[in-house]
Structure 1
Amino acid sequence: MTISSSLNAGVAGLQANATRLAAVSDNIANSSTYGYKRVVTDFNSLVLSDGVSGYTAGGVRASSQRLISESGALISTSNSTDLAVRGRGFLPVTTKSGFEANETANEMMLSTTGSFRLDADGLLTTESGLLLLGWPANQDGTMPNFPRDTNDGLRPIQFALNLSGDPTTKVDMSLNLPATSTTAGASGEAQVLSIEYFDNLGTSKSITMEFTPTVPATGSSNEWTATLADSAQDNAVVGEYIITFDDSRQAGGTIASVTTVSGGAYDPVTGEMIINAASGPIEFNIGAVNSSFGLSQLSDSFAPIALSKDGSPVGNMAAVEVDANGYVNAIYDNGLRKTIYQVPLVDLPNAEGLVSVDAQTYEISPESGAYFLWNAGDGPTGDIKSYAREESTTDVATELTTMIRTQRAYSSSAKVIQTVDEMLQETTNIKR
């Protein structure tokens, strides 16, 4: 009956507008919630009649959708581990309770922002109990290859809250030896350079390099004997090399050849040789043959030009920083900066297909499509902004306008029900 369908349509209108009002109230309530994605409600008409034999009202049906792919504005903060995704992509997170229950398998959830802090266990976590996930780096700070279509390699980011040292494994050096010291009649005085290194316990040690010129009877020899002694081994000789320099017009002053007397062999292509110190092998780079880098023999002065090495003394972790590419760095009070993890960004075809859960996080579903883990800043993804949070995507003015329209539509639907009630009353009165 047409009048009955009018009543049903009025009820459907009340239900649909109540649904929209619920979405509006949720949006307004979360207008200051970081990372909140607003919900929109659409109405769809229901057609139950072809209109030939009379019209039957079908009413309306409401459908709500969270606009997860919509990004809010970024605001700056004072915490280095306040993170926000600038552009496309999601941060991988997991729950602390789930990690404590099963530390080998982590259920990956997604978020676009979070205020992470170090807890008592050294985990980067939020107040709501979310842990930031990342790929662990190698001991030397390089990143191994991890699969990108699975979260098997991801681990909660955790720091060792104790002292840390970094042994020296590599030394690059550039210095000039005086060419006049290898000419006939020179004094033959040796040139000495002490190079500090750090052993496996963070203790300062040194390798002394002594360069002794070969003084010929006539002319110039352009030859030096380099002897390396380790203080940690009672100044025992750990390497001896005879270095000859080129005196040609094209390559004058560069290394012509190196003869190994003892110690690791010299590589003429890379300029490297391995010195076995007490703490383990240390790679010395004195420059390749005919290279302008490394050792040179020019003029009449001994001049150490540049000396760089890795390693550091023992230090306490002072800060944690995350760069735009997702590399998580631990900064120590001894000046050491070490990459510990890398946080990827998760991308998928249909962000609106994600399932919303608590604390502005989302779970992957069949509707969202297969995900892929990208390096932040690569592919379709944006980068990671530290010292920043993403604001709610709610615009209060828009929501209040929608609320006014919803209120009017709800009142109109209620008026339809009231009118149908009066018409049915009139129909009942016919019998009287």
Structure 2
Amino acid sequence: MSKEDPRQYEKYTKSDAEREKLHKRTLTVVIMSQIFGGAGLAAGITVGALIAQDMLETTRYAGLPAALFTLGSALSAFVVGRLSQRLGRRLGLTIGFVTGGIGAIGVIFATTFNIIWLFFLALFIYGAGTSTNLQARYAGADLANARQRATAVSIAMVSTTFGAVAGPNLVEPMGKVAEFINIPSLAGPFILAAVAYILAGLTFFFYLRPDPLFVAQAIAEEESRQADAAGIPVDRGHTSIQRIGIIVGSIVLVLSQMVMSSIMTMTPVHMRDHGSGLSAVGLVIGLHIAAMYLPSIVTGRLVDRIGRHRIVIASGITLGISGIMAAYAPGESLFWMAFALILLGLGWNFGLISGTAIIVDSTNVYTRAKTQGSVDVFIALGGSAGSLLSGIIVANASFSILGFIGMYLALLLIPLIFWVRLKEKKLAQDKMRMTS
């Protein structure tokens, strides 16, 4: 289970009070790290497409940067998930964040010396920070019980708001810092990203002790021993994993990410083409990111209280409305673009927390981290596809068409939930017939 001495976990396996105390401490560490991580992820979202547009002198490939760092996010999600399962959350998340920081440094060099291949490679590496920032939400849920899981995930996410909202609004100040040290102004946000991601990694490395995943495994082992002693059969293998839940949770997460990434990626380009300045773009993206993370604490409680499926339906409806608004909102209107992007962020928030809760419900501690990493691979690939195709769609059609496509994809979440409810009802009926 761990190279550390397993005896250090004994007090957590035998005392609910100690376990709860450690759960709260873990959430505190996750909050500290997520504040830094949020600032790091904002750089690529806000100026990545603008740098590509300037370097390539075309809008057609403006979605490529987001596609690249989400592809890098996909690879790192797989690696970080496997590392976390084997080495624990602490080392897995540390490696992911530091790698993202190195990628941000590479973007700075590439932009400064106008090296396009290095810019693309560095963005790919920078994506490690994006996926690690998302995977950190699982660390907060390792020690949560079934009634606390969505709330624990939401607490981890809401803390990202502080850094994520500050990041886009620091575009101009960081641009001035960049110019002061003789590098292009658009590279400025990546200076912030490099520092933020590395600090996030170091926070996990020094403070996430004992590792919550290893403690959760120790608790599960103790419960298994007690069940064995009482003669109760315990399933520690894969059969306890609810495969339907993993599939449904994955689809919810992937569709939410695809819709959000595609519209968000092209919004800065769309606004700048209609005469908006960097400060206006930064404000809209900042409000969008606030809507992605700030409602999390309320969303988590709603998911735990009224159910995962209802919030998934709310996600589909909210994302659908945001797609329509993006299609019709004037590109020069700060108010309407901000409103559309706020709804886009809120719909993504509903989808991410409800989908994550479904995934956590459908896994156990023996396979959880690597399963979560694999799911996050598909989330990143969905986001990458959305980002890449968004530039092509806007270049060959329009931003309005992109909004309509996003709406149609979002509304697919509603029939998905009706399907899974029918499937669960059928499985329950089959189980009753077998036992009768």
TM-score tier after normalising by the smaller chain length: under 0.3
Task: Report the structure, 1 or 2, having the larger strand content.
Answer: 1
* Larger relative contact order (Cα-Cα within 8 Å, sequence gap ≥ 6): 2
Task: Report the structure, 1 or 2, having the larger helix content.
Answer: 2
Question: TM-score by structure 1 length?
Answer: 0.18
Question: TM-score by structure 2 length?
Answer: 0.18
